[in-house]
Amino acid sequence: MESQKCCERESYRVNPSQKYFDPETLARIRPLGLRARTLVEGVLGGLHRSPLRGHSIEFAQHREYVPGDDLRQVDWKVYARSDRYYLKQYEDETNLIAYLLLDTSESMQYRGANSPLTKLEYAQLIVFSLAYLVITQQDSVALATFSSELDGWLPPSGSASYLDDIIRMMESAPSGQRTDLPKIVELAAQRCGKPGVIVLVSDLLDDQERLLTALKRLRYQRHDVIVVHVLDESELTFPFDRSTRFEGLEGLPEVVADPLLIGGAYRKAMAAFCTEIEVGCQHLGVDYHRMKTNESLAATLPPLLARRLAQRG
């Protein structure tokens, strides 16, 4: 497995433009498709359902009539049977815009000893895979790269050639900056005018309370938010066994510590951190997925998509 990952990594380096098209990964994602959990208003009808109810071929549900409703929507057949007024509601499929937010801060450069990819590389794979799926489903995708600022922005587009732009932008994105996730989420909220699916791919190593507050605003703007929490295996398991000098990324100070002494506490703290974010996301109705960089995307992406389909019902 290790050698396989190493080979995969080597192949990416040989041909960067092809590394996002891992045939195995994409072959396992494609039949499942990417679906937004909630309906978004879009221009294109298709695979995704719109939150707006209208005249459509697909019946959604009945609703009791209240004064002021359009009488044209009253289901008279039901009135005839039950002597009560009900309105017929239909589902309408709309175009989907997927806003992909990629964290390119310095902390995303971390790669553990047992991981083939840095967190950033792994996140780029996720972002590209999702972009590919969205575009192949005739939907639009937008991309934003960020660290402490919103470093790059590709407006929504559904063109297949747009994937090249995405690749170029991800590769040219500057790194080594501090993360300011709440600020970025705020900026993204301003840019993403029409409600869509916002996918935040980051290690989320920031103040979680401010982050959740920002996510709350996105939800308030009726965006469907997916948080993909990318972590290295080492960051979860803290597998060090001797005295270590930890050099802080993103301008944080270095510290010498005995991992054997603080490992347990760290693991507990990391678990608490992840749980807090996950629970916060659940409360906000945000879809939360944690992925480890040593896990194959072929194993992590399909469950994400499957779960979304299940939630959609």
Partner 1 sequence: MDGLNLIGVAGFASAWMLLWATAAAIPIVLHLLNRRRQQTISWAAMRLLLQVIEKQSKRVRFEQLLLLLLRTLILLTLGIALGRPYFTPQTLGETLAAQRPPRLWILVLDNSYSMGYRDEQGTRFAAAQSRALDMVRTSVRGDAFCLVTLSSPAEPIINRPTFDSDYVTTAIQKVNLLDGGGDLNSVLTQINEIITGAGRNLDSPTDIHVVFLSDFGQDTWQEALGSGRSQRPLKQLAAAHTLVYEPIFGPSNMVLPNIAMMAMTTMATRALKDRPLDVEVTVTNFGEAEARQVPLQLGANGQTVTSQFIDLPAGATRVVHLNLQPSAAGLMSISASLPDDRLVADNQRQTVIEVRSEFKVLCVENPYSDARILKAALQPPVAMQSAMQVTSTTQLELGSFELNEFDAVVLNDVKSFSESEFKKLTQFVNAGRSLVCLLGQNSDPSIWNTQLVNAKNPLGFLLGEPSEFSDWRIDPLDYASPIAAPFASHPDAGLLTTPIFRFWKIKLAENTAERPQIELQLQDGAPLIVINRWGKGRVASMLSAPQTGAMRGAAEPWNAMATWPSFLPLMQQLVQATLSDNATQLNVRVGEPISGTQRATSEKTRINIVRPDGKEIELQASEIDEYGLRSWSYAASTKRGIYQTFVEGGVPRPYAVNINPVQSDLRSVSIEQLPKSTEKTPSPVTASLDSGSSNPSSAVARWLLGTLAIMLVAESCLAWALGRRLA
Interface contacts to partner 1, rule CB under 8 A: 106-110, 119, 203, 205, 232, 235, 240, 242-250, 252-253, 255-258, 260-266, 269-270, 273
CB 227 within 8 A of CB 215: yes
Residue (59 or 246) nearer to partner 1, CB:
246
Q: Which is nearer to partner 1, 197 or 204 (CB)?
A: 204
CB of 112 to partner 1, least distance (A): 9
Cβ-based nearer residue to partner 1, 93 or 295: 295
300: tokens are: 């992590």
**Pairing mode of beta strands 255-257, 49-64:** unpaired
What secondary structure does DSSP assign to 183-195, as a single string?
HHHHHHHHH--S-
Determine the residue type at 196. Answer: G
Q: C-beta of 203: minimal distance to partner 1 in Å?
A: 6
CA distance 95 to 129: 19
Distance CA 139, CA 40 (A): 12
Residue type, position 189, single letter: A
CB closer to partner 1 out of 32 and 270: 270
Kindly state the smallest distance separating residue 264's Cβ from partner 1, in Å.
Answer: 4
User: Please, what is the minimum distance in Å from the beta carbon of residue 146 to partner 1?
Assistant: 16
Identify the residue whose tokens are 């967190």: 119
Rank residues 75 and 250 by Cβ distance to partner 1 and give the closer one. 250
Compute the least distance from the CB of residue 288 to partner 1, in Å. 18
Calpha distance 294→26 (Å, rounded): 17
